[in-house]
């Protein structure tokens, strides 16, 4: 098993992180209408991860970025008005380089977000993911995240739903 280092991203990493996100999400081009892909690409390459309080976290292997995630603080407009502010942090824009998949990178990044949220005294953490992201949904459900359909939204008004999930720490043993 490779030793993955998890740490805060440095400013000079931001552009390569955004490019890696686009590459990681590129697999969805074939399953999404062009307008939806363009909206997704715009969202994952935006500078929203530089907003105050957002923690941009990277997974490194031999000084190479192999994955990243943005942890948005509670009570922020993480989704540009599609849903209201939530009382817990949100995992956003989780991406793993295609050549690093299946090696625990995504799980390590999720675990780091959970650890940081617990350390700040939160009882839960949330996330949203496209209904077409089957592997991501499987990963989140295996990690114990549960659906919160009342916080779903439809960003491109094309029938494709972004599903809400939450992991409640008080439910864990």
The rounded percent of the chain whose pLDDT value lies above 70 is 92
Q: Phi then psi for 97, rounded to 5 degrees?
A: -55, 140
pLDDT at 141 over 80: yes
Query: Where residue 98 sits, what CATH number does that domain have?
Result: 3.40.630.30
Edge-to-edge strands, sheet with 124-130: 5-8, 55-61, 64-72, 90-96, 124-130, 162-168, 146-147
In the chain, the number of structural domains is 1
pLDDT band at 1 (very low <50, low <70, confident <90, very high): very low
Q: Domain limits at 60?
A: 5-171
**What tens digit of pLDDT does each residue of 82-130 get?**
666 789 999 999 999 999 999 999 999 999 999 999 999 999 999 999 9
What is the DSSP code (8-state) at residue 87?
Answer: S
Instruction: Map residue 78 onto helix, strand or coil.
Output: coil
Place of tokens 């496209």: 130
* 8 A C-beta contact, residue 124 and residue 164: no
- For the chain, the average pLDDT equals 92
């Amino acid at each position: 098993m490779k030793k993955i280092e998890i740490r805060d991203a440095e400013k000079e990493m931001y552009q390569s992180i955004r490019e890696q996100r686009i590459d990681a999400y590129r697999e969805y081009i074939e399953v999404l209408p062009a307008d939806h892909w363009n909206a997704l690409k715009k969202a994952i390459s935006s500078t929203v991860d530089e907003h105050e309080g957002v923690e941009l976290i990277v997974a490194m292997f031999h000084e190479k970025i192999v994955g990243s995630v943005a942890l948005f603080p509670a009570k922020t407009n993480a989704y540009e008005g599609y849903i209201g502010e939530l009382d817990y942090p949100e995992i956003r824009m989780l991406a793993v380089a295609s050549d690093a998949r299946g090696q625990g990178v995504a799980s390590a990044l999720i675990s780091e977000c959970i650890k940081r949220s617990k350390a700040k005294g939160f009882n839960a953490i949330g996330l949203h993911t496209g209904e077409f992201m089957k592997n991501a949904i499987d990963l989140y459900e295996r990690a114990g995240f549960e659906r919160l359909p009342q916080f779903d939204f439809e960003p491109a008004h094309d029938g494709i739903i972004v599903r809400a999930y939450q992991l409640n720490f008080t439910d864990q043993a």
